[in-house]
Amino acid sequence: MSIAFALPLPRMDTLFSEPTRTAVRTVDPSRTDPRLAATKTETSDRALRDLFNTYLECRTPDWDGHGALPVSLETLEMTLRVLEVLPPGLPRPTFGAEPDGELTMEWYRSPRRLLSLSIGNAGDLNYAALLGAERIFGRILFCGAIPDNLIALIRKVSTK
């Protein structure tokens, strides 16, 4: 016998700023290749759900039991902005949180082929990739677009 609980979630319109609510409302997968529309919608919905669940689990101080800072609403909004500008066709990242209150997106293919992107509330993007023996890392300021070299890294990590 299993028991399911429905937890009331806060209304989206009270959690996000108007620009973020507008951006979320205007995402329309039918504008993409129709063959990908259903997959993109399912992937986008799942990614948003995973991201929101990570935020809910980590929004209070000491969420890890070791003094972690809470993930702020501003960090969640910044992560949504980054997620929105990722080009179609990239694999969906997994989400996590760090003790300093940043959210992470990770693309993982194997222990020697991965990329982690940390997102801070001010738009700082810190990334580290492992491609076999090669280590690549850097820091950029998010200004509404993901640089081509970072997109290329995500693709490189994700392909065979």
Q: Residue 130 is part of which domain span? A: 12-158
3-state helix vs strand vs coil in the chain, percent to 5: 40, 20, 40
Q: Is 160 exposed, middle or buried (0-12, 13-18, 19+ CB in 10 A)?
A: exposed
Per-residue confidence (pLDDT) for residue 123, from 0 to 100: 92
In what helix (H) or strand (E) does residue 57 lie, and over which residues does it extend?
Answer: helix 34-58
Q: Whose CA is closest to 105, among 68, 64, 61, 50? A: 50
pLDDT band at 18 (very low <50, low <70, confident <90, very high): low
Question: What is the mean predicted confidence (pLDDT) over 2-8?
Answer: 40
Per-residue confidence (pLDDT) for residue 17, from 0 to 100: 53
Contact 47, 39 (CB under 8 A): no
The answer to whether residue 156 scores a pLDDT higher than 90 is: yes
Question: Is 5 inside any structural domain?
Answer: no
Domain count, the chain: 1
pLDDT digits (tens, 9 = 90+) for 50-107: 999 999 999 999 999 999 999 999 999 999 999 999 998 899 999 999 999 999 999 9
The pTM assigned to this predicted structure is 0.74
Q: Whose CA is closest to 97, among 80, 75, 115? A: 75
Question: Is 100 inside any structural domain?
Answer: yes
Encoded amino acid at 55, one letter: Y
Q: Which long-range contacts (CB under 8 A, 24 or more apart) does 41-45 make?
A: 43/92
